[in-house]
A and B are shown apart, each in its own frame.
Chain A
Amino acid sequence: MTLPFDLGLDHPLALLLLALCLLPLFATPFQGTRAPSLALAPEDGASTALAVGVRAVAVVAIAALVLGLAGLHRRSESITRLGTGSHLMLLLDRSASMDNTFANRQPGRGEESKSAAAKRLLMEFLARRPNDQIGVAAFSTSPIPVLPLSDHGDAVAAAVAAIDRPGLALTDVGRGLALAIEAFADDPAEGSGAVLLVSDGAALIDPHVQAALRDALGRRPVRLYWLFLRSAGSRGIFDKPEAPGDDIPQVMPERHLNLFLASLGVPYRAFEAGSPQAVADAIAEIDRQESKPQLFTERIARRDLDRVCYAIAALALALLTAAKLAERRMDDNARPLPRSTRVAPNAQARPLSAREAA
């Protein structure tokens, strides 16, 4: 059920009970007073206000209880705020080599595989960035979308937690990048996207895919970060070729992927990390880079208002109780009255007719 002010009800049918609000308009639990006529009493603003007020308080008490029972709540909503944050797509390498240590061995006792180190450090990174819109994609032999861009930190953490499971065979960086960049196609925040590629190797990028990447970045520029987890003995991003004939992508895929990414015309930085500490430094640097003022939407969770309703009802009931306890009959101090002194029933008509005559 939709109500104004983003309010909602769990049990709208319970609102039928609001008809009970009519009761205080027709009845009162307060003592009647043995006055022959109301018209006998002079018109008194304070008394009228009190009479109306007591009825109103009773109506409020009933209405608040009914609304509370109907499950009044403020619906979850999103508000747009200015803060520091980023729209970030994590592109994670899930190839089997990620399961080895930085020394390129099977992790032994007390050793950490590259994927476990990346998982631990990315988790810390995520914990520091509650305002980011983050999506996750994985790639290995094929590109695998994992989570769309969202601000659900728990979901992103669950996806990052999955990266230390055994990986697949190969490393198809190109299609993975295409997938990650494509994720920004529907993201309206112009000029705020970034892709963080975490991998321990590179591979040839098919010319078709290269062209598709240039196209996609031309339509929707995003910043690129490449966190290269370098294992001992493998080639690095910044290695120079030893022989002129070695300067080809087939021999030095890491160097050529770096050159290719740098040639795409979008802001790009590469980090080469040979140890968990170097990964931590690189992530801290990305953390600094991606903290620009940014419009972001903050979701406010649903807030139940039934307790507020009950509190209002309790307050109203307290007022009613106070009124009831303060109640005195007009003739209390004259009690016990001898029967004969009571106002004769026929006296009732007199002032009325007097007023009519006036």
Chain B
Amino acid sequence: MATPIMAPLRPPALLRHPRAVVLILALLLALAAVFAPHLRGERAAYRLLAVVDVTGSMNVRDFGREGHPSSRLDAVKTSLRELAARLPCGSRMGLGIFTERRSFLLFEPIDTCADFAPLDGAIAALDWRMAWEGDSYVARGLYSAIDLAAPLDADLLFFTDGQEAPPLPHGGMPPFAGEKGKVRGLIVGVGETIASPIPKFDSFGHEIGFYGAADVPQENRHGPPPEDAVGREGWHPRNAPWGAEMAQGEEHLSAMRAEHLQALAAATGLGFTRLGPATALSEALATSARGRPAPGGRDTAPIPATLALALLCGLYAAPLLLSLRHKRTAAP
């Protein structure tokens, strides 16, 4: 046959071939998909510093389902690990612990996706044995955690049951010297509101029972005595300004002190929430922490790729549909 198979096609000829035009369009769209840019996403990523209370009262087992009690610290660890897994990629989380009267930074915020394994391992390794003192000055610990978070430009997640040990003096909680609301974040209250006994350990870490009423200070006798001490049994202005009786109280039992934590939250400009599942925690974060746009957000390639697929399928489906219609009209 003498047919010139590869005769050059003149532009007007191209327009006579709408299907070729569709194919060329699909080709151009596929090429666009190859080179489509990643848009900087608007999705919220967080930069967090999680500070966990590791004092003795966090060993109280008032979490867990029936028959499987778990301690407050374990509940915090579970929740925090889930939260780390849920945070959108590009988020960073640092870790610190609190005992005595200050917070101690373990590491600065690291990427919750790329460095998930060490982050998860570090959270899993949190233990009450890391505590270097038995005291638990929650307010001071919170203030020092805020001081740690500020230079890191991180939002704070402070997990505590709010039990001050020794109890707060009668003057109330120490004043917050920092700028209220400069560091944002959440105080997460851990524990039930019904008081439970606190496990006691010996110096080798073996559990040896629970704290009794006489084991812990029931009243803070630093600073000036309260006004009503005058009426106490055996009161003497010099020899017994607090009264002659042993202080009675429930300080050897531990419940989550929501009012105290709410007062602290109000003083420091943080939010307050109870420890719940990680979903609830990330919802609370959305209102209390600053979301930051994370780099490498949305990919634009699916748009041209979908169009290319639609054109290509339309191109193949059109003759099929046409022939179906022909058949139907042709049928008597």
Q: Which residues from chain A sit less than 8 Å from chain B, CB to CB?
A: 17, 20, 23-24, 26-29, 58, 61-62, 65-66, 68-69, 94, 136, 138, 140-148, 150, 152, 154-156, 158-159, 161-162, 165-166, 168-170, 306-307, 310-311, 313-314, 317-318, 320-321, 324-326, 328, 330, 332-333
Contacts and interface: CB of A to CB of B under 8 A. Distances in A.
Contacts of A146: 106-107, 122
Contacts of B97: 144
B100 to A, nearest CB: 8
B301 A68 contact: yes
Contacts of B299: 306
Given A28-B316, A142-B129, A328-B3, A162 B118 contact: no
12 contacts: A23-B316, A24-B316, A29-B315, A68-B33, A68-B305, A145-B122, A146-B107, A155-B107, A169-B132, A325-B20, A330-B1, A333-B4
Which of A154, A310, A311 counts the most B-chain CB atoms under 10 A from its CB?
A: A310
A169 B302 CA distance: 57
A332 B27 CA distance: 27
B6 interface: yes
Interface in B10-48: 14, 17, 19-20, 22-24, 26-27, 30-31, 33-34
B27 A324 contact: no
Main SS of the interface on chain A?
helix
B108 A325 contact: no
B24 to A, nearest CB: 6
Interface residues of B, number: 63
Which of B14, B22, B122 counts the most A-chain CB atoms under 10 A from its CB?
A: B122
A156 B109 CA distance: 11
Contacts of B301: 68, 306-307, 310
Contacts of A150: 117-118, 121
Contacts of B130: 142-145
Given A140-B132, A144-B106, A147-B107, A321 B114 contact: no
A148 B126 CA distance: 11
A14 to B, nearest CB: 10
Closest 7 CB pairs of A and B: A141-B132, A148-B121, A314-B30, A159-B107, A23-B316, A310-B33, A317-B27
A141 B304 CA distance: 61
A313 B5 contact: no
A23 B107 contact: no
Interface string B108-122: 111100110111011
Nearest to B9: A325
Given A62-B312, A69-B306, 9 more contacts: A68-B305, A136-B107, A155-B107, A307-B33, A310-B301, A313-B308, A314-B33, A320-B27, A321-B27
